[in-house]
Amino acid sequence: CTFPQGASPEDAWDMSGNAWEWTRSWYDDEKKYRIVRGGSWIGYHWFARASFCNWSIPLMFNDDLGFRVVIAPKDKKSNQ
């Protein structure tokens, strides 16, 4: 979805459609393929959503395949 002012209510920008994103999840029981999500700038527009899932060979690289860096918030209760 899009937001008329640009950012979402959480102040997030451009969360899909830039590059396929690697996940840690295996696509198959044999553990040959990893799940990639989100579509990319080079693909069809209906792939450009976080819920869309595809697969790729783990050693694959391409200019429309990447990963998202995530930092978990500190736990306020334990100061970690």
In a domain, 22, yes or no: yes
Cα–Cα dist 74/65, whole Å: 29
Within-domain flag for 65: no
* pLDDT at res. 78: 62
**Residue 43: predicted pLDDT:** 82
pLDDT tens for each residue of the chain, 80 residues long: 555 666 667 777 666 667 899 999 999 999 999 999 988 888 888 888 878 889 999 988 888 898 877 778 887 776 55
Within a 10 A sphere around the Cβ of 78, how many other Cβ atoms?
6
Question: For the chain, what is the domain count?
Answer: 1
DSSP code for 69: -
Which range of residues forms the domain containing residue 23? 13-51
- Asked whether residue 25 is assigned to any structural domain, the reply reads yes
Q: By three-state DSSP, how is residue 46 classified?
A: helix
Does any domain span residue 47? yes
| Within-domain flag for 26 | yes
Residue 30 lies in a domain: yes
Tell me, what's the pLDDT at 5?
Answer: 64
